Structure formats: structure tokens, C-alpha cells
Amino acid sequence: MQQLTPQDTAFLSIETPELPTHIGGLVFLRPEAGSGFGFAAFAEFVRERLGAVDRFSWQLQEVPFGLDRPYWVTRENFDPADHIHEIRLPAPYSHESLSKLVGRIFERPMDRSRPLWDMTLIGGLPGGRYAVLWRTHHCMMDGASGASLTEQLFDITPDAKREIAPKLSEDATAGERLSTSKIYGRAMMNASVLPQKQSKYLGQIANSLLTKDKKETKDKAGSSTSESDSNVLAPKSRLNGVVGPHRGFAWSSVSLDDVKRIKNTLGVTINDVVLAITGGAVRDYLEARGGLPSKSLIASVPVSMRAKGDTAIGNQIRELPIYWGTDCEDPIERLTAIHNHASEAKRKAHEGDAFDLIGMVSEALLPGALNLLMRGAAKAGDHMPLPANAVVSNVPMAPMPLYCAGALIEQVIPLSLLAPTQGLNITVLSYCGELHFGLVHDPALVPEAWDLAGLIGKNLQKLQGALDREFEDSISA
């Protein structure tokens, strides 16, 4: 019998009707003419591939009143095709009409009485193309394990025939439903260790506060790095407030080679460049609307804590608050400051020095108590301390073209969840020589998100231009 891990349970416990906690992706497909691609063929393909993976047949057995972590149980008479839907966009097609449809589907909470995933095949795209919207609850996987699961559906050739592994990890097992007496007995045993875990995190909080008190005031160049320390709260901005139930979705793409050239020139990471160009985009977006805070915004960056080669199901992440550089006009200075702080934040996380908020709420609180806390935080708005202004995450995928049900995958745009008081999530996925940026947002807090999406590519160009000018100046000198 597989009980959810504390971190997987946290993604269930923090869910509210306004803040669903599933993730997903929008996959653009281009079938070959005359291939017979359609809903029936796609549903049969998914049935064949995912029917061989036990994980997709699991559903939850929740513990009454949130007194303990739920269990995974196997759904009887499971058919993956029951989780696949079909919609056709009316003509004429536009990215905006597709994004509105995706937003309406994505904002709906998932049905916890069923396995927590679904797909929608969307027709009506130009040239006979299709899009597939895939939703999976975050309690099932994080970005890294999600990428391994997509390997079940993606092939390197259009006619690939391969053996499908029935399990993705040895510990991924489910069973029959537990009796009420067993559930309550296990809940009492698990509750008995809570005081010890609570003491551990209270000690970390005390140490964190002492560290904050000892910090010295630095000049602006120094504060750009220090302001992003995990002990410093983010400034209020137009991106933040009470998050409502509706979701908008926009996307953009940039060349991965262009990002790599900048990375190699300055000796930084791809994620540093991603933060720099999204930070610049957010700066321009807020400045144009008269709402740019003088202090830099903070990006919450999920960092995988997995060992190399670990593809086990479930979540193994830490959220690190990183300086976003929105107070810095010069793109090279912004990137350098982001790199310096991100390196220090990651070092602390891997050495255990950084405060682990996800660990605290998932291990030290009962699921029911965490849900009540989250509902209060979601309604608090401006009265709630703000640890970060938005989430920015980066997930790698394949560098070569892939196929799904025989159709070429042209783009994969990621979608993710919104946190309380944070009206924007930017998730980035690398595929086939491009970085694809998916912007999930609350339309009331982040209107005109397509403008923000367009500013990402423009800020990459600004960064490239600044590097070119710096190189020319060094040559002329």
C-alpha cells in the first residue's frame, strides 16, 4: 500500500477551489496528410501506452478530516480512454482563442474520485494540426518525473514500435482500499511523530530570524544580491493580490542557441538567463503600467533535489526565493546579480542551510490543518506576507524532434499552478532547440498577458545587444 509522501500530500492539502494544484502542458501536433490521425486513433494510442503503466490507474483514498496523508489505490476496470476528451475550435483560428479555451479547461479543479489526469484533443488548428492539453495533479509528479512520464507517449520516429515498461520505479505500487480501522490506526501512529518534526522546523525558523538580524546594510549593488535572501520578503506589486478562480494562458518561444551563447559568454547558467530575460520582461510590463516597485521583485524558483538518474514518481523539490533584477535597468548587470544570488541560494539549499518552507508545511502539519491555513492565506491578499512575487521554473526535455501517435510534436508549452497572492507563473520547457515559455495567470491581476509574453523575446534581444556593444567597446579600446 502506497501512502503519499509529505511533499506530494502538500500539493493536495494546499488546493482550494480558487487555487487548483494540477500542472500540465499544451502539445502542438502536425500529423502527416492521410495518416488517419484523429480522436479515435489518438485515444487508442493512449490506451495502449498508458494502460501499461500502473501509475495512471491509481486514485486517492483520502483520510477523513485530513487527519493523515492519503493512500494510492488501484481503480477497478480502468480505461485510459475514459480520461480523453475532444473539442474543436471554431474558425477562424487564433492563438488568443486557443489560449482562452485552454484557460477555461485548466482552471477547473480535478475530480479526486478518479485517477488525477486527463487529456483534451483540440482540433481546428491551421493546416490540419491539433493541440493536446494534458493535465496532471501535482501530487502525482514534479517536473522531472513528469518529463519521464511523457516518454511513455513520445517517440523519436513517427512509426516507433517499442516495449513499454509496466512500472517506472520499484517503489511505485498501489493496492486495495484500507479499512476505516486501519486508516485511523495508521493516522494515530503518524501523528505521534509530529511534535518532533515541528520542533525541528521551529529551530530552523529561530535560526533564520537570528541570521536576518545580523545582516549588515549594503549599497545598492550589494543589496541587489542580498535583497533576494530567503529571509527578505518580496515587495507588493500589480502581480499580487487575492487570486481568483479564472486562469489565462499565454506563451512565447526563443532560440535555445541564443540563450546558450549568452550563458557561455558570461559563464552563467541557462536558468540565470531565463530569470534575467523574464525579469526584464516583467520590469518593462510593470513600468509601462506605472506599477514598478523600486525594490526588486522576487522569483520563487523550484529546484530539483533529486539525485542524478533518479526518475522516481513524486515530488522532490525546494522553492528558492531569487532576486529577479526588476530594479536593474542594465541587462548585463541584472544577469550578473541574478547569477551571484542564485548560486548562493542553491549552495545553501544543497548544504541544508536554507529554510525549507515546503518541508515545514508538508511534514509538520496535518493535511487538514494545512488546508485551513491555505484557505486563510488565499483570502488574505495584501494582509499576507509575500515570500515571492511569482514562480519561474525551468524543465528540460528532448533536444531532437519527437512524435506522438505518429504526429510530429512542433511545440510543447508548459502550464503550472498559481500560489496564494501570486497571479503569475512562468514555466519554461526546452524542446528541439527552443525554450518555450508558458505564462499561467489570473486575468484580473495580470491583464494583457500576451504583451508580457512578447516582452520575453525582446529582452533576450536587449541582452544580446548589450553584449555586442560591450564586445565592440573592448575591441575599440
The DSSP 8-state label assigned to residue 267 in this structure reads T
Q: Is the separation of the CB atoms in 323 and 298 below 8 Å?
A: yes
CA dist., res. 96 & res. 171, Å (int): 42
CA dist., res. 20 & res. 347, Å (int): 31
The identity of residue 326, as a single letter, is: T
Work out the angle at residue 117's Cα, subtended by the Cα atoms of residues 115 and 123, and round it to the nearest 5 degrees. 140
Residues catalogued as catalytic: 138
Please give the grid coordinates belonging to residue 466: 548589450
Closest among 163, 149, 3 to 80, alpha carbons compared: 149
* Alpha helix segments (H runs only) across 79-219: 95-106, 143-150, 180-191, 194-214
End-to-end CA distance of the chain: 69
CA dist., res. 352 & res. 360, Å (int): 13
Please give the grid coordinates belonging to residue 30: 502536425
**Residue 390: its H or E element:** strand 390-396
SS3 at position 422? strand
Between the CA of residue 429 and those of 106, 146, 255, 338, 434, what are the distances in Å? 18, 12, 12, 20, 8
The residues, any chain, with a CB within 8 Å of residue 272's CB and separated by 6 or more, are 263, 335, 338, 339, 342
Between the CA of residue 403 and those of 146, 151, 161, what are the distances in Å? 17, 10, 12
Q: Is the separation of the CB atoms in 2 and 175 below 8 Å?
A: yes
Pair type for strands 390-396 and 424-431: parallel
The residues, any chain, with a CB within 8 Å of residue 341's CB and separated by 6 or more, are 224, 225, 228, 229, 322, 323
Q: Is the separation of the CB atoms in 427 and 416 below 8 Å?
A: yes
Facing residues of 390 across strands? 299
